[in-house]
Amino acid sequence: MNVHQVDRAELPGFAESLETRSAEEILRWAADRYAPGLTCATSLGIEDCVVIDMIARAGLPVDLFTLDTELLFPETYALWKQIEARYGVTIRAVRPEHTVAEQAAREGAELWLREPDRCCELRKMQPLARTLSSFDAWITAIRRDQTPERASAPVVGWDGRFGLVKINPLVRWTFDEVKAYAAAHDVPYNPLHDQGYPSIGCIPCTSQVKPGEDPRSGRWRGKEKTECGLHLRAPGQTQGS
């Protein structure tokens, strides 16, 4: 729910002061400042599971949701239930306007093969925009070393694409640090991560990564696309502006 007047001019100062703080401290700050207008988007990747673990351990009042494209791996759906049971939380399903079958009837079969950007727009971006419009701030689990686009992501900044504050508590973390936290705290995570899938999305657009390959090369393999659009900046927006 929208409850706060957000002063965008304050955000660079927040980002600077939070840059060296721990992920737990950043999450606490975010909850103090923005709850109940605060939500967390989880794709149920290992980074997201770590963030949920931190939120649950601290008992922070944060809404949780995942974009259910209806094309996720069975292992992802099983993990979703496992996380809810383990932490006693509800992860809301945010779904597209149309089922996969309805989309095929309207746009043709397997839109992801022909127009993956359009498919992501319909199955991820539009549902995401609808749900974020009700909040003042959202938490994501992106890391700077995942893609060039994310390399300059601030701890906190203005998300011009969706029109709210974006908080990235793990932004300074490496994948090894994420795995170490998960192991130390016995955080449930997707078994596919241990089977050559460092980044897991929809079944049609996720493939195994060989040793030495870029961890995100298994997403939209063979296409120039590297992001579904959730974490791209708005046209003309500099990171954090």
C-alpha to C-alpha distance for 70 and 77, rounded to whole angstroms = 10
Q: What is the smallest separation between the CB atom of 192 and ligand SF4, expressed in angstroms?
A: 15
Within a 10 A sphere around the Cβ of 220, how many other Cβ atoms?
A: 22
128 interacts with ligand SF4 by CB under 6 A: no
CB of 88 or CB of 222, closer to ligand SF4: 222
148: amino acid identity, one letter: P
CB of 86 or CB of 98, closer to ligand SF4: 98
CB of 128 or CB of 182, closer to ligand SF4: 128
Strands 137-139, 156-159: pairing kind: unpaired
Q: What is the smallest separation between the CB atom of 119 and ligand SF4, expressed in angstroms?
A: 3
Q: Which residues contact 138 (CB under 8 A, 6 or more apart)?
A: 38, 39, 40, 41, 132, 159, 162, 164, 165, 166, 167
Q: What is the smallest separation between the CB atom of 217 and ligand SF4, expressed in angstroms?
A: 15
120 interacts with ligand SF4 by CB under 6 A: yes
Determine the straight-line distance between the first and last CA of the chain, rounded to whole angstroms. 23
C-alpha to C-alpha distance for 29 and 75, rounded to whole angstroms = 33
Residues 35-74, one symbol each (x = binds ligand SF4 by CB under 6 A, - = not), give ----------------------------------x-x---
CB of 176 or CB of 224, closer to ligand SF4: 224
228 annotated active-site: yes
78 interacts with ligand SF4 by CB under 6 A: no
Query: Which residue in the block uniquely carries the two structure tokens 């936290």?
Result: 181
Residues 200-229, one symbol each (x = binds ligand SF4 by CB under 6 A, - = not), give -xx-xx----------------------x-
Listed as own residue / partner, the contacts of 112-118 with beta carbons closer than 8 Å and 24 or more positions apart are 112/71, 112/202, 112/204, 112/205, 113/204, 116/205, 116/220, 116/223, 116/225, 117/225, 117/229
CB of 160 or CB of 204, closer to ligand SF4: 204
DSSP 206: B
Task: Supply the residues annotated as catalytic.
Answer: 228
Chain contacts with ligand SF4 (rule: CB under 6 A): 69, 71, 112, 116, 119-120, 123-124, 201-202, 204-205, 228
